Amino acid sequence: MRALLVMVFLAAVETPAPPVQPAPATADSAAPASAPTASPAAAQAPMAEHGATAGEALAFFMTSRDYRTIRELKSIMTVPLKAAYDKDPTPYSGKKGVRLSAFDYTEPALKPGARSAAVTVKSLWEDQGEAVDVRTETVRLFRDGEGPWRVAAVEKVGIEPVRFKESIAGVTSLRMILRAWVRRDFATAKGMMSDAFLKRYAGREEGIEAVFAGDPGVRRAAFRIVDMTPRGTTSVTARVRLVETAPARPSGLEGIPKTLVMAKKGSRWLLDDWR
């Protein structure tokens, strides 16, 4: 009997187990799909060419004058201007905090075959949404043969400071309201409006919420505080200008005039009228 058990045991050890068949593959809805790998050619694709006309080159240059779009900005410059930019980029792209927000010029009218142009450009520069100054420059463009137009030089003509610098009660709250307007942030602005003001606009199609939403196809460039007139110690009337522009195109820098009234409610200054 013992010998029979030993033989059964040895047979079980020597007999290979049947192979385990893999489970059929199924789609795992929780697993993210693998992203296709970009080809080397796509990764190194050049930017779209700009400069078919002097006006198009100038518009692209002005639109790209930002420290966040240096590659685009330098792509429209001549080699000597790139060298000048590398020495001091601030006059061209601004700096963190103060940036170009809008520009205006008359489209250059050139004769057939012209290879150079000089255009007077005005630009508005802002800090946290508030207009800081208006600059006037002469931008010189050049075309090498049949090649694309490039910006060859930028010469400063003048600068007009426009930031409101007076310390008047309520100006800080006014700036917060106007910065929210630039960002189309009605939720933040609503918390700085008086109850009486909100009741006056409640239910109107042209209500204050619509004012803050605005036309999504229009770019909000900056606001400018023109002046503030106190009315006693609990109210101040402010004249402002709201600058909106067409994206990537020359637009007027004057802005739309508005009158805002700030009222002191307890320790806070709240928006009490917008007209």
- Measured in degrees and rounded to the nearest 5, phi and psi for residue 126 equal -130, 160
What is the share, in percent, of the chain residues with pLDDT greater than 90?
Answer: 71
Q: Does domain 171-274 have CATH number 3.10.450.50?
A: yes
> What global pTM score does this model have?
0.78
Residue 21 scores a pLDDT above 90: no
Residue 230: phi and psi, rounded to 5, are -65, 140
pLDDT of residue 95: 81
Tell me what pLDDT residue 31 has.
36
pLDDT of 36-86, one tens digit each?
A: 343 333 334 445 679 999 999 999 999 999 988 999 999 999 999 999 999
Domain ranges within the chain, ordered by starting residue: 50-161, 171-274
The pLDDT of residue 94 is: 84
pLDDT at 35 > cutoff 50: no
Is the domain 50-161 a CATH 3.60.15.10 member?
no
* Inter-residue contact 64 to 47 (CB < 8 Å): no
**What is the rounded distance in angstroms from the CA atom of residue 65 to the CA atom of residue 151?**
12
What distance in Å separates the CA atoms of residue 87 and residue 173, rounded to the nearest whole number?
40
Q: Tell me what the mean pLDDT of segment 9-36 comes to.
A: 40
**How large a percentage of the chain has pLDDT more than 70?**
82
Which segment of 19-28, 62-71, 127-136, 206-215 scores lowest on mean pLDDT?
19-28
**Could you check whether 50-161 and 171-274 share the same CATH topology?**
yes
